[in-house]
């Protein structure tokens, strides 16, 4: 195929070109940036079955590994994706080829959300797919403000809690509705971390400890917006975090990309690089309610966690002991699926420490089998009322289940007040206090070594179309 393509006039053919997250199969491009480049991902099958779906998989691989990430910097404004599947039969000495071409237009709508600090304009960005799903994010805090999912009857429901104005999000230092958390999600004991033999101190904002990097978190900052390349249904927010910011060392360049796919996935990709060793453990702190953000508690939601172990905490300060404990025979066992409210008030010390579920679960290694692009399935949540389900995949080792134990009539969007346990969080992460706990996988990144991490929230219901299908 490369030999044939090399005959194209005025085009260069490159194979196995390295990208941030892998190597693409074939890139066809011209030195003239006004001419559209083509990225091809090739798949070979042992049988003729599933050729079309394999092409779709190839296109998803191009999207998810961001093989086109460098093209906008080179001046190209749009790109075509080809997914190509081969089936070779030696008997008849010919190849059968199936090809799927994807050429999507960006469907991003930008609106004004308000003004903060008297002069700084805040924007909302809405992404839609062809299935009836849409999400809205803001450049204030790289916050996820709205997720619209059709329920089993096809009626749209907004399934994330949030605020109705930019100024309310600007004050968001306790609930963290929809927030991008960084540099470090969850807790650091003693509000400090030791890196390369030096102690770095953060601001204590939960007793003596640091929670979600302190009161000057990324969730209240105005991020820069990187316009998506043509054909990408996504928006990227960029933040420069200087050396000493929040107490952490190193000048950190951070980007967060929200993408909405035709498979009804919210794909969140974090990219960071620092000029000094530092902690890099970002997460998203959305509160979900699959009945709708205005529908009351989430206690009837059925949760399955792919976790044989969790990290118990010492006391109500919620710092882990450094051990992992088996969930078997405890209220922490969600492996077979059960209502979140089934045992939330059980006479169990760990739940008494935290007023309900607010614990990190260790994602089972086996959960990675059959997953895509190095992601492991962490959780599945289903609402019996709406018929909406949500799957969570991540490349991080842990996920924090928080059941909204401390919500207390918090004023939210659409005039709603969010009470206790009106939303649940599934925050993908390194374990709490991992930067200080040798027994845990470390969230520390080396100087000048880029780090990329991804989390996917995938939605399903009888009323939600799949893959852009027509109804």
pTM across the whole model: 0.78
Sign (positive or negative) of CA dihedral 48, 49, 53, 59: negative
83 and 126 part of one domain: no
Q: Is 368 exposed, middle or buried (0-12, 13-18, 19+ CB in 10 A)?
A: middle
**Residue 174 sits in the same domain as residue 73:** no
Identify whether the C-beta of residue 293 lies closer than 8 Å to the C-beta of residue 416: yes
Active-site hit among 189, 262, 393, 427:
427
Say which residue, 6 or 308, is predicted with more confidence.
Answer: 308
Please identify which of the residues 212, 285, 293, 301 carries the catalytic annotation: 285
Q: Quickly tell me which residue has 């709490």 as its tokens.
A: 432
Residue 18 annotated in active site: no
Q: Is residue 470 part of a domain?
A: no
Q: Do residues 83 and 118 share a domain?
A: no
CATH number at residue 342: 2.70.98.10
- The arithmetic mean of pLDDT across residues 459-470, rounded, is 81
How much is the pLDDT for 86?
74
Range of lowest pLDDT (106-115, 202-211, 379-388, 457-466): 106-115
**Domain contains 469:** no
Q: What tens digit of pLDDT does each residue of 398-456 get?
A: 999 999 999 999 999 999 999 999 999 999 999 999 999 999 999 999 999 999 999 99
Determine contact, residues 285/212, Cβ cutoff 8 Å: yes
Are the beta carbons of 87 and 48 closer than 8 angstroms?
A: yes
Co-location of 244 and 269 in the same domain: yes
Cis ω for the linkage preceding 183 (within 30 of 0): yes
pLDDT at 305: 98
The answer to whether residue 137 scores a pLDDT higher than 90 is yes
Q: Are residues 217 and 307 in the same domain?
A: yes
**Residue of 7, 84, 74 lying closest to 39 (CA atoms):** 84
The burial class, CB within 10 Å (0-12 / 13-18 / 19+), for 102 is middle
Domain range enclosing 21: 2-102
Residues 224 and 304 in one domain: yes
Q: Is 278 left (phi over 0), alpha (psi -120 to 50) or beta?
A: beta
Rounded to 5°, angle at Cα 142 from 137 and 145: 35
Residue pointed to by tokens 């066809």: 28
Q: Are residues 288 and 387 in the same domain?
A: yes
Instruction: Identify whether residues 127 and 231 lie together within a single domain.
Output: yes
* Mean pLDDT of the chain, nearest integer: 89
Count of residues in the chain: 471
pLDDT at 294: 97
Q: How far is CA 267 from CA 30, 59, 64, 243, 467, in A?
A: 30, 15, 8, 29, 15
Mean pLDDT across 55-62: 81
Domain stop point among 80, 102, 124: 102
* Number of domains composing the chain: 2
What is the spatial distance between Cα 361 and Cα 305, in angstroms, rounded to a whole number?
A: 8
Residue 48 lies in a domain: yes
Question: Does one domain contain both 145 and 10?
Answer: no
Give me the percent of the chain exceeding a pLDDT of 90: 70
285 is catalytic: yes
Cα–Cα distance, 157 to 24 (Å, whole number): 38
Point out the domain boundary residue: 79, 102, 125.
Answer: 102
Q: Which DSSP symbol is given to 366? A: G
């Amino acid at each position: 195929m490369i030999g044939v393509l090399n005959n194209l006039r005025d085009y260069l053919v490159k194979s196995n070109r390295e990208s941030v997250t892998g190597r693409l199969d074939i890139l066809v491009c011209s030195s003239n940036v006004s001419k559209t480049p083509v990225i091809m991902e090739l798949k070979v099958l042992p049988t003729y079955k599933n050729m079309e779906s394999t092409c779709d998989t190839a296109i998803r691989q191009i999207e998810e590994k961001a093989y086109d990430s460098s093209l906008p910097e080179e001046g190209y404004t749009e790109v075509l994706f080809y997914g190509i599947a081969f089936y070779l039969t030696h008997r008849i000495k010919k190849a059968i080829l199936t090809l799927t071409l994807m050429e999507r237009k960006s469907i991003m709508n930008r609106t004004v959300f308000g003004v903060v600090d008297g002069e700084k304009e805040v924007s909302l960005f809405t992404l839609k797919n062809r299935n009836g799903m849409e999400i809205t994010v803001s450049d204030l805090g790289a916050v996820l403000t709205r997720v619209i999912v059709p329920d089993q009857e096809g009626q749209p429901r907004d399934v994330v809690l949030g605020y109705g104005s930019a100024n309310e999000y600007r004050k968001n230092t306790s609930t963290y509705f929809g927030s991008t958390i960084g540099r470090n999600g969850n807790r650091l004991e003693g509000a400090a971390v030791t890196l390369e033999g030096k102690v770095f101190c953060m601001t204590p904002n939960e007793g003596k400890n640091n929670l979600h990097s302190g009161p000057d978190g990324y969730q209240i900052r105005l991020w820069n917006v990187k316009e998506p390349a043509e054909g990408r249904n996504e928006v990227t927010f960029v933040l420069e975090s200087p050396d000493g910011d929040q107490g952490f060392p190193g000048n950190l360049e951070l980007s967060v990309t929200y993408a909405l796919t035709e498979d009804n996935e919210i794909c969140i990709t974090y990219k960071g690089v620092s000029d000094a060793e530092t902690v890099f453990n970002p997460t998203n702190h959305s509160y979900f309610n699959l009945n709708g953000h205005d529908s009351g508690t989430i206690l009837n939601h059925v949760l399955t966690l792919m976790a044989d172990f969790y990290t118990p905490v010492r006391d109500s300060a919620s710092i882990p002991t450094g051990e992992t404990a088996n969930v078997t025979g405890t209220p922490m066992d969600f492996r077979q699926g059960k209502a979140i409210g089934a045992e939330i008030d059980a006479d169990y010390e760990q739940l008494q420490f935290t007023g309900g579920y607010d614990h990190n679960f260790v994602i089972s290694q086996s959960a990675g089998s059959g997953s895509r692009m190095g992601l492991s399935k962490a959780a599945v949540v289903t609402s019996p009322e709406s018929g909406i389900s949500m799957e969570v995949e991540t490349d991080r080792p842990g996920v924090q289940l928080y059941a909204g134990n401390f919500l207390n009539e918090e004023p939210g969007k659409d005039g709603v007040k969010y009470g206790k346990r009106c939303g649940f969080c599934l925050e993908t992460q390194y374990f709490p206090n991992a930067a200080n706990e040798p027994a845990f996988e470390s969230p520390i990144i080396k100087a000048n070594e880029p780090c990329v991490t991804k989390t996917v929230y995938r939605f399903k219901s009888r009323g939600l179309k799949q893959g852009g299908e027509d109804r």
